[in-house]
Amino acid sequence: MKDVFMYIQLPDLVGRLLSCIITVSIVFRYFDSKYRRLHHAKMYYGGWKIACCCLNLIIYFVDEPAMNLSFWILVICVTSKWFYFDENVQKMRYYITNIGFMVSYAMCESIGAVFVNAGVKILDISQNDSMINFVYTIGGSVSAILFYYFVLKRLFIKGKRNRLSTRQYVLYTVITILVIINIGVILFYTQYELHKKEYLFFIAEACFVILLNLYVFYLLDAFAENRELKFQLDLYEKQEANNYAYYTKEAEHRTLVLSVLHDVKKHIRVLKGLQKSEASDAADRYLESFETMIAPICLFRYCENEVLNIIINERMSECKEKGILFHVDIKDIDIEFMKQIDITTVFENILDNAVEACEKSEDKQIELKIRPFGKMICLILSNTFSGEIKWDAKGRPVSRKGKQHGIGLKNVEKTLEKYNGYLQFSVFERKFVVEIIFNI
């Protein structure tokens, strides 16, 4: 082992250290993006990162790729066990997924080394092994960074995938091209005998460019996450507005109930008096007026779920005020498997959109059908509309109010993902149709 350390030269050492730092950064970036931390103290994670980097550098000196990969699989297992967790995934699948990520990362890193090796052969470079190994290593690191942000992140972090703009993709591409050009320049100049200062310049410049590449990618990723958080904030604000409106209506409803109950004994006495006096017509008219008065406090029972009953009754009252014919047909469904907030999110949003679209049409009609189908629940909501509907590339309707709107449907899609749900939009006989399948 002493001989190995004695003959390791500066370019090779720097390249391997740089590779260790990048690998540790990307692996822990993967875990932080996908899972929850077990510990609150950041020092645990900082210490474990430093330990992984130092141990990896030592194993790097042995120059055995299989041993290096085995080390990282062990690191993945320890990190998965003692530092992160995911209560929604089975343990075996949890470990297999993380090991699969590490193996995929190693393959991506080797792709860069293969391309650099091809460049060395094409240019017929016979430079010292230390400098060639340095170029191999940085080529692998650049390849790993590129594939992580373009491929691996999309494959392994599906549930938390951020929405990237076209500009961000362009920046990713431009930065990567610049780094590749930089590696090409280094390869070109390594054909010649260089002075010590020139070696140091190329090493320092390559390290700076690659670390800058990693930092900029990380920064762009943080921008994407910030955009996602803003999107989530919009959703919560909309949900809060819905909840505020709901509790306001509940307060009004409670006041109405109390006022009716306060005088109910008086109304009963009047009805009994009219019946005794055999004034049947007057009694019928009085009873009809009384039924009209208590109608707002009597909720019709459409299904066994109380939250859904309240939502539908509220929309039914709103439709009556706006002159919309709202037909509801629900048979033998059980949606107790859904959280109450998820029921509110799905039904409030689709019914809000239906009422808003129907309000502008001449033939105001809404129809809601919900049926059980094996281990699934099928929902079909149709409504009349005016004008034309614009569709985006994913087959979703585009809001006429601009980019800041249309949040409701995106929230519905996110909620349905929890239940392996299915959402489809279509137009049939001048009616806009929403079809949803819930997987029980």
The C-alpha atoms of residue 280 and residue 365 are separated, in whole angstroms, by 38
pLDDT in tens, 284-326: 676 667 666 665 565 677 888 878 888 888 888 889 889 999 9
Residue 398 corresponds to which tokens in the numbers above? 């585009």
Among the residue ranges 106-115, 254-263, 308-317, the one predicted with the least confidence is: 254-263
pLDDT digits (tens, 9 = 90+) for 59-77: 877 777 788 889 999 999 9
Q: Give residue for tokens 């430093």.
A: 50
Would you state the pLDDT for residue 2? 40
pLDDT greater than 80 at residue 117: no
The reported pLDDT for the residue numbered 150 is 80
CATH architecture of 301-440: 2-Layer Sandwich (3.30)
> Across all residues in the chain, what is the average pLDDT?
79
Q: Are 366 and 383 in contact (CB under 8 A)?
A: yes
- pLDDT at residue 158, as a whole number: 64
Give the pLDDT of residue 182: 75
| Domain-wise residue ranges, the chain | 2-157+170-221, 301-440
For 207, phi then psi, to 5°, come to -60, -45
- Residue 40: C-alpha distances to residues 43, 80, 83, 377, 384 (Å): 9, 16, 10, 41, 53
- pLDDT for residue 151: 86
Q: What pLDDT score does 7 carry?
A: 39
Do residues 375 and 440 lie in contact, with contact meaning Cβ atoms separated by under 8 Å? yes
* Cα–Cα distance, 20 to 55 (Å, whole number): 9
Q: What is the pLDDT of residues 199-233, one digit of tens each?
A: 677 778 778 877 877 887 777 777 777 776 776 67
Report which of 47, 61, 54 is spatially closest to residue 23, judged by C-alpha positions: 54
pLDDT at 215 (0 to 100): 81
On whether the CB atoms of residues 249 and 290 are closer than 8 A, the answer is: no
For helices 10-34 and 129-147, what crossing angle results, to 10°?
Answer: 10
Question: Tokens 């290096």 belong to which residue?
Answer: 68
Strands (E), 183-339: 325-330
Which of 252 and 340 is assigned the larger pLDDT? 340
Quick: pLDDT tens for 143-160: 888 888 888 888 888 654
Residues in the chain: 440
Threshold 0.75, pTM exceeds: no
The whole-number pLDDT of residue 368 equals: 94
Calculate mean pLDDT across residues 272-293: 68
258 vs 78 pLDDT, higher one: 78
Q: What is the mean pLDDT of residues 372-394?
A: 84
